[in-house]
Amino acid sequence: MNKGFTLIELLVVVLIIGILAAVALPNYQTAILKSRIGSAIQIADAIKLGAEMDYIENRSLTDDTSDLAIELPPACGKDSAGQVLCPNLYVDLLSNGTGGSPDVVVLSPNKEKAEVGYRVYLNIPLSGANAGRRECLAVAGNKRAEAACRSLTGKSNPTGTFSYVKSWNAYSM
């Protein structure tokens, strides 16, 4: 008598593994996007704090991160021009962002291929309508990115849009 598995038994096992993978993969991809947003939040908050401290000291707002005294996470650094560089993140400090409000935008994984991002408005001026506002950004029409932002913010619909390199849906945090 031969001991081993029949072809049917092996096919059933492969089918079960395939079903489990099909169920788990979208959740895994959403979790990756959420972790990228978490990294973006950390970087953006550091730059926001540095920009606000620089404004208090110099009474002017810069859009050059090389002027800021900020502590970056270990994986990040500055290039020769002083711009913040992080693996799998694109960082930009806009002194005249949407509606004239200064803001920090961090996109992942880079400017051209970004699916998710994070935007935080500076508290300069303090009376600004958007001062301190935070948004999770998802590329418009990207279901996984929008699911990650909905999961992080608890908002089922975007609270606005943002046009920067491409069209984004913004979810207020």
What is 12-31 written as a DSSP string? Answer: HHHHHHHHHHHHHHHHHHHH
Q: How far apart are CA 63 and CA 102, in angstroms?
A: 9
**Per-residue pLDDT, 125:** 63
Return the closest-CA partner of residue 29 out of 126, 134, 112, 144. 144
- pLDDT classification of 138: cutoffs 50, 70, 90: very high
Per-residue model confidence as pLDDT tens digits over 47-75: 888 888 888 888 877 777 777 777 777 77
Give the containing element (helix H, strand E) for 143: helix 143-153
First-to-last C-alpha distance (Å) of the chain: 65
Tell me the pLDDT tens digit for each residue of 1-39: 678 888 999 999 999 999 998 888 888 888 888 888 888
The mean of the pLDDT values for the chain is: 83
Q: What pLDDT digit, counting tens, does each position of 89-119 carry?
A: 888 877 666 556 678 888 888 878 888 988 8
Query: In this predicted structure, what is the pLDDT of residue 127?
Result: 59
* Inter-CA distances, 95 with 12, 77, 78, 135, Å: 59, 21, 19, 17
What are the angstrom distances between the C-alpha of 167 and each of 86, 115, 132?
23, 11, 22
Q: Flag whether pLDDT at 130 surpasses 80.
A: no
